[in-house]
Amino acid sequence: MCDFDGAILATFGEIGRRAGKGYCYPSQSTILSLVGRFYGVRRSRRTLNRHLSALESAGYFGRLRRHKRGPAGELVLRSTLYVFKGKFYNYMGRGYRRAAAFFGVFRVPFLAHNQSSTDRYLSSDTSLSVNKPVDSSSKGGPSGTFSTPLKISP
């Protein structure tokens, strides 16, 4: 694994750790700027895409390309969702293995698969209410600066 792959994985790990999630969804420009800023590795977007494909096929994470329909019916592309897998947590180390057990693949969508959408919204449980206000401080994603860059081992 080259230093660019390690920098990508370390950046994903830091974003996921700061958000407290087993996934992240940075844009490609964000990935390139963070890797360049904290690890001094500058690459093109095309090179980033090649490395992301190689890391995905190696089993470090899964990618889900997100999109939606715009007001005029056109396709609006959004950032890709990167879901961390076991190999990612093994690479990142011991602390991330505990997070892998907590943010396992089947833990997050458990409720969604066991209730239909109408059951969830018609439920008497207030935590599933549609009109529940969203706390902006709980949203994931990077903010500010990283405390210290992770060490990349070859």
- Given pLDDT bands bounded at 50, 70 and 90, which one contains residue 62? very high
Helices 94-102 and 3-19 cross at an angle (nearest 10°) of: 50
Half-sphere exposure of 58 (CA within 13 A, CB side): 14
Of residues 46 and 118, more confidently modeled? 46
Break the chain into its structural domains and give their ranges: 3-125
Comparing 72-76, 83-87, 101-105, which segment has the lowest mean pLDDT?
A: 101-105
Residue range 21-34: mean pLDDT, rounded? 93
- Looking at the domain covering 3-125, what would its CATH class be? mainly alpha
